[in-house]
Amino acid sequence: MLSFAMIMQSCAVKKMHNIANQYASEGYKLVWNDEFEKDGPPDPANWTYENGFVRNEELQWYQAENAFCKNGKLIIEARKEQKPNPLYVAGSKDWRKKPQNIEYTSACIITKDLQSWQYGRFEMSAKIDISAGLWPAFWTLGLKGHWPANGEIDIMEYYRGKLLANIASMGKNGKPKWFSNTQSTDSLGGKKWASQFHTWRMDWDEEAISLFVDNVLLNKTLLSELENENGTTFHPFRQKHYILFDLALGGMNGGDLKDTRFPNRMEVEYVRVYQK
């Protein structure tokens, strides 16, 4: 007699084959994927980790142990836990060195130096919590150049009650040039919507980048609009990009965490890359 887990795995395999067949009719072939089927740390052939306080004055300390695979899903877990800040410098105004203690931990896993792609269909199935202060994301960065000249694509980003579909290159005076659309999570169903898994997708080719959630187009931007305005001919979206998954907290955009429960999770069923 088949166990429930075996039945669910069989259904998932059939669904994956159906999607692959559908995409094959559009000329796409699966070139890379992670189904997170083996319990334990994420596959080291695909993923490394960011560490410490990294960006945007966010409150979390990134560490590898907050990312793990269990029951066929990648779990990125944000925790409220106090530990000494090894960067602490008394009297410092640097946001990384100023706090004496770390108050929150989380994880950011990345494919940099392991897996990267130029053009394709990038797809993720995930469930995100939309509580105040949380800032989950599924995004890419270009391999070459310093941000924002290397290019950023936010396939899935959430904070302060809205989903964001963002693309950035370098604008004038070295500042980022954003092409962004948002969707209120209340308009999608709020907490009920957030209790379910959803599919985020990017279609990126020589002409444009298109970002979707559950097959609804959120943002389509032409590559001709995304050229860097820094006097060079380098184009951030005519190069390979790598993938990042993270669950950030607070910081410049995340908001207030005082009413948010911990531990909190972002759960990912799979990530797949197809190319023509």
Domains and CATH numbers, the chain: 35-275 (2.60.120.200)
> What does the alpha-carbon distance between residue 113 and residue 116 come to, in Å, rounded to a whole number?
8
The DSSP-derived string for 65-93 is GGEEEETTEEEEEEEEEEEE-TT--TT--
Residue 7: per-residue pLDDT: 54
- Please provide residue 75's backbone torsions phi and psi, each rounded to the nearest 5 degrees: -110, 125
CA–CA gap between residue 216 and residue 157 (Å, rounded): 15
pLDDT value of position 21 = 85
**Phi, psi (rounded to 5 degrees) for 13:** -65, -45
pLDDT at 1: 66
Across 12-119, the runs of DSSP E, i.e. the strands, are 29-34, 48-49, 60-62, 67-70, 73-84, 101-106, 108-110
pTM of the model: 0.93
pLDDT number for residue 11: 59
**Residue pLDDT tens, the chain, 276 long:** 665 455 556 655 666 777 878 999 999 999 999 999 999 999 999 999 999 999 999 999 999 999 999 999 999 999 999 999 999 999 999 999 999 999 999 999 999 999 999 999 999 999 999 999 999 999 999 999 999 999 999 999 999 999 999 999 999 988 999 999 999 999 999 999 999 999 999 999 999 999 999 999 999 999 999 999 999 999 999 999 999 999 999 999 999 999 999 999 999 999 999 999
Q: Report which of 23, 1, 12 is spatially closest to residue 215, judged by C-alpha positions.
A: 23
Q: Residue 232 is which amino acid?
A: T
> How many Cβ atoms are within 10 Å of 168's Cβ, its own excluded?
22
Residues in the chain: 276
How many Cα atoms within 13 Å fall on the side-chain side of residue 199? 11
Residue 6 φ/ψ, nearest 5 degrees: -70, -40
pLDDT of residue 3: 56
